[in-house]
Amino acid sequence: MWEYTDKVREYFLEPRNVGEVDNPDGVAEVGSIACGDALRLTFKLDENKRISEAKFKTFGCASAIASASALTEMVKGLTVEEAEKITNQDIAAYLGGLPKEKMHCSVLGQQALEKAIAYYRGVPTEVKEGEIICE
């Protein structure tokens, strides 16, 4: 059995920011071929171009839910330039660590954010067939 930190449990059992932002500035969906899980992320910027709201929906596991939820909290108040520097290790650290077998699940949120930012910038962001976003 994997050991989860209290923070992972908390973010899994009562995830913050589940759902979808109205009139989002950034939208993305990513999927993992490895585990078949998927995640949708939306965010909105305020008049100072800072992220005021971010929400997610996922078919992922407990770690993916906790990671995505943590990420939506972490990005609040950041500019997209600041938000895109967040790595999946940062997400895991915010949660007090993830079991190493579950580190890949935090990649889903991080990649969704990257794509949602690309969408915001007008870069085409289709998830390519067969794309693998984690190992």
Binding site for ligand FES (CB under 6 A): 32, 34-35, 37, 60-61, 63-64, 104-105, 108, 134
Which segments of 14-123 does DSSP mark as H helices, in order?
A: 62-74, 80-83, 88-94, 105-120
134 is catalytic: no
- 55 φ, ψ (degrees, to nearest 5): -135, 160
* Given the residues 5, 10, 29, 35, the one annotated as active site: 35
Collapsing DSSP to helix, strand or coil, 12 comes out as helix
In the complex, least distance from residue 112 CB atom to ligand FES, rounded to whole angstroms: 11
Q: Which is nearer to ligand FES, 25 or 58 (CB)?
A: 58
* Given the residues 39, 95, 105, 107, the one annotated as active site: 105
61 is catalytic: no
Alpha-carbon span 53 to 6, nearest angstrom: 25
Comparing CA positions, the residue from 44, 15, 39 lying closest to residue 29 is 39
Q: Which is nearer to ligand FES, 36 or 122 (CB)?
A: 36
In the complex, least distance from residue 62 CB atom to ligand FES, rounded to whole angstroms: 8
Pairing label, strands 26-31, 38-45: antiparallel
Q: Which is nearer to ligand FES, 35 or 118 (CB)?
A: 35
Return the active site residues. Answer: 35, 105
